[in-house]
Amino acid sequence: MDITEVPVSDDKKGKKKKNKNPNKKSVSEAGNGKGAGAEEKEEKMEKSDVAAAFPPTFSVSEIKNKQRRHLMFMKLKQEKRKQKMQLRKKKKKEREALGDKAPPKEVPKTIENQRVYDETTVDPEDEEVAFDEATDEFSAYFNGLTNPKVLITTSDRPRGRTVRFCEQLATVIPNAHVYYRRGLALKRVIPQCVARNFTYLIVINEDRKVPNGMVLCHLPDGPTAHFKVSSVRLRKEIKRRGKGPTEHSPEVILNNFSTRLGHSIGRLFAALFPQDPQFVGRQVATFHNQRDFIFFRFHRYIFKNEKKVGIQELGPRFTLKLRSLQKGTFDSKFGEYEWVLKRHEMDACRRKFQL
């Protein structure tokens, strides 16, 4: 069998040489011109490397190999971090160069400062709000006519964790008493509480041995609030906790209860504690509302000097989410609800909050 060699035409060779020659020219020109030209060349090379590694249509999720996908994701993350740092350094140099003439720093956008305005936002100087506060169910407490007395109970057959949570809650709230229901209906418990001059009834519900709900009923006329309880941490589970709380009445801090609904919930929490805190105990109970989640913390503070203050958490800690607010005392069948959480309607917009 004869094998014949096919000669390569000179045109193709010429084309190949033409393709190679421009690169040689650019290298030689870069070698000749140093300084600003060299820096521009380096920047172009860096950009071309990033573009070659991560083209604009590149998606890490398309890579099927798990290890390769993770590696490429980490590279992409590292490149973004580098670009962010370079931009930050550049802005810092510009601000230092401008000095006093530098423009003010940009405020970062968060869900809180982009919040949708609520028409029911409370104005402290509003006469209507002042009149409502003077005539609502908590007016007797805030006028100093009654002192809080709290009954804490549980659902039927509580487990150990729920029992411990109730006991620790009783050490936080002054003049609180823990009783176990033993199958007694709440409608029968409430008249007995009113007869014994209790001002509050707290019911802790549980699911799978974990506290998951709280009913907070103000006596004798209501209102009644139902909360979802989550992220419960007892004292033993808190790191660097302080010694157990003393019997002093704590100070109460209520944060970000700005709407009419939030205002009434804030007053509901405030009426749990005596109105005259004992500052000797240096104890603070905080109800912090953020994005309609109410975070409870219990701290002890100490003044280290004129400027510094040390804080020590005592526990327990938990998070509340309001599910409903009912007029009057607890009545699951015929009760009139003032507000009910409708998740699919109310939680559709992330920037709209109810409290």
pLDDT (tens digit, 9 = 90+) per residue, 28-43?
444 444 455 555 555 5
- Contact 229/213 with Cβ under 8 angstroms? yes
My answer on whether 217 and 136 are in the same domain is: yes
My answer on whether 152 and 84 are in the same domain is: no
My answer on whether 307 and 196 are in the same domain is: yes
Helix (H) or strand (E) segment spanning residue 88: helix 66-98
My answer on whether 183 and 270 are in the same domain is: yes
My answer on whether 343 and 213 are in the same domain is: yes
Chain centroid to CA 164: 26
Q: Is 112 within the bounds of a domain?
A: no
Task: Determine the Cα–Cα distance for residues 220 and 66; give it in Å rounded to an integer.
Answer: 62
Rounded mean pLDDT of 232-254? 92
My answer on whether 222 and 337 are in the same domain is: yes
My answer on whether 162 and 69 are in the same domain is: no
My answer on whether 342 and 247 are in the same domain is: yes
My answer on whether 239 and 91 are in the same domain is: no
Rounded mean pLDDT of 149-176? 92
My answer on whether 237 and 176 are in the same domain is: yes
Distances from the Cα of 144 to the Cα of 39, 139, 208, 220, angstroms: 76, 9, 41, 17
Predicted pLDDT at 25? 45
Task: Report pLDDT digits (tens) over 258-313.
Answer: 999 999 999 999 999 998 999 999 999 999 999 999 999 999 999 888 889 999 99
CATH of the domain at 179: 3.40.50.10480
pTM recorded for the entire structure: 0.73
Task: Report pLDDT digits (tens) over 191-213.
Answer: 999 999 999 999 999 998 899 99
Q: Is 134 within the bounds of a domain?
A: yes
My answer on whether 169 and 304 are in the same domain is: yes
Q: What residue numbers bound the domain in which 312 lies? A: 127-347
My answer on whether 177 and 321 are in the same domain is: yes
The structure tokens 């302080």 sit at 242
Distances from the Cα of 306 to the Cα of 280, 281, 309, angstroms: 18, 19, 8
b/e burial code for range 292-311 (CB count within 10 A of at least 16 → b): bbbebbbbbeeeeeeeeeee
- State how many domains the chain has: 2
Half-sphere exposure of 247 (CA within 13 A, CB side): 2
Predicted pLDDT at 345? 81
